[in-house]
Amino acid sequence: MGIFDPLKGFGVTFGMMFKKVATEEYPEIGAPAAPRYHGRHQLNRHPDGLEKCVGCELCAWACPADAIFVEGGDNTEEARYSPGERYGADYQINYLRCIGCGLCVEACPTRSLTMINFYELADDNRQDLIWTKEDLLAPLLPGMEQPPHPMRLGDDEQDYYVGGPELARGRGVPEQSTVETDTEEAVR
């Protein structure tokens, strides 16, 4: 051990005192996520505000962590929540169990369930990490109406699921975006 070793150590400390601090001011200033990052789930809507979820429970069956619970309900002409015969009456995702694999998104036949790039999912209360349908539904954009209401974009569900992109363009959604990406922008 040399006599100048302590002075070398103090030299490193003294040299770092004048460098710019590289501290991120999180959570006051949030760090942006990558555009294709898969974070929290979102239940999407049709351009008139009806829910895309038909309560098929395929997302719950595909989930390897058993983090999703779906209970379907039947639509009536007085109370219509989705264009089909059924809708997701009760929908829950338990983020204590979710591993973020995205298999639920791949299993969804109506593209109702997507993952947006919101990443702040930690909480100190376990009950707050069980997200319900009201927490997961996409916000209503201008021109949308809160369900239940009659179908506004066509007479049957085929008008929604087969001609959906053309209907969305007719409602003012730009060509390069989808209803899902516009709701992601509304969340930010």
CB 41 within 8 A of CB 104: yes
Nearest to 92 by CA among 114, 71, 115: 71
Question: What are 2's two structure tokens?
Answer: 């040399």
Q: Which residues pair with 68 in a beta bridge?
A: 93
What does the pLDDT read at residue 79? 92
Residues of the chain with pLDDT below 70 are 1, 164-165, 167-188
Q: Rounded CA gap, 183 and 140, in Å?
A: 8
Give the pLDDT confidence of 15-69 residue by residue, as tens digits.
888 888 878 888 888 888 888 899 999 999 988 899 999 999 999 999 999 999 9
User: Which residue do the tokens 């992601």 mark?
Assistant: 184
User: Residue 45 carries which DSSP code?
Assistant: B
Q: Count other Cβ atoms within 10 Å, centred on residue 59.
A: 25
pLDDT at 7: 83
**CATH architecture for the domain at 41-187:** 2-Layer Sandwich (3.30)
Domain positions in the chain? 41-187
- pLDDT of the residue at 54: 93
| pLDDT at residue 175 in the model | 58
Interior angle at CA 181, CA 173 and CA 38, nearest 5: 170
Say how far apart CA 97 and CA 76 lie, in whole Å: 34
Structure tokens at 102: 């995205």
Secondary structure element (H or E) that encloses residue 169, with its range = helix 164-170
